[in-house]
Amino acid sequence: GNNLSEEYLAEMMDLAGQSNVACIVISKSGTTTEPAVAFRIVKEHIEQRYGKAEAATRIVAITDAVKGALKTLSNQEGYCTFIVPDNVGGRFSVLSPVGLLPICVAGYDIREMLRGAAAAKRQVCVRSEDNPALLYAAMRNLLYSELGKKVEILSCPNESTRFFAEWWKQLYGESEGKQGLGIFPASCVYTAD
């Protein structure tokens, strides 16, 4: 439910009509357009199909701890809620309930993922010429400042990694793309693009 395309929403609801449905809605405020519209459609479907009481057991909200439209609705309807941490920006939230709950529901081992994240953190927090994060940052900055390279392309090895590239574009675009500065992040799926 992350797209306002009527074709996308119709296909999603056709699939929902053939499936056992539950919903995880993720929005700090509850007023971001895309998830708010999609959630209204899915919520209505779940309530009509299962009844209001059971719908409350099938809807999980990941939202603000105390305020916002989604938090208010969750309290009123009795939805299970998880918190979007105040000190974690959206583009960094994959290792919070925002990313971990959907990843877990998709069947992945989040404990193993967190162990891998902790190992990567240990590796990139060491000042060393072998630190891959420092090497990457140095190369990007050199290409940008000394050689005028203003576009960086992340090529995905296959279609299954396309959404990683979407996150990467948001991460770099929002982190560096202020006031017309920074490298423009783009992506492609190898070899099709």
pLDDT tens, 127-162?
A: 998 899 999 999 999 999 999 999 999 999 888 888
The pLDDT of residue 1: 67
Of 187, 171, 186, residue with least CA distance to 94: 171
Alpha helices (runs of H) in the chain, residue ranges in sequence order: 6-17, 33-50, 52-58, 69-77, 97-105, 110-124, 132-145, 162-176
Contacts of 145 (CB under 8 A, 6+ apart): none
Contacts of 133 (CB under 8 A, 6+ apart): 124
- Confidence check: pLDDT of 3 > 70: yes
Of 65, 12, 56, residue with least CA distance to 34: 12
Mean pLDDT of the chain: 91
Contacts of 85 (CB under 8 A, 6+ apart): 93, 96
Q: Left, alpha or beta for 127 (phi > 0: left; psi -120 to 50: alpha)?
A: beta
The pLDDT of residue 22: 96
User: Across residues 29-45, what is the average pLDDT?
Assistant: 91
pTM for the complete prediction?
A: 0.80
Query: CA-CA distance, 26 to 6, in Å (whole number)?
Result: 20
Give me the helix-helix angle, 33-50 and 6-17, nearest 10°.
30
Query: CA-CA distance, 77 to 93, in Å (whole number)?
Result: 25
Q: What value, to the nearest 5°, has the Cα angle with vertex 99 and ends 93 and 102?
A: 165
Binning pLDDT at 50, 70 and 90, where does residue 191 land?
Answer: confident
Query: CA-CA distance, 22 to 3, in Å (whole number)?
Result: 18
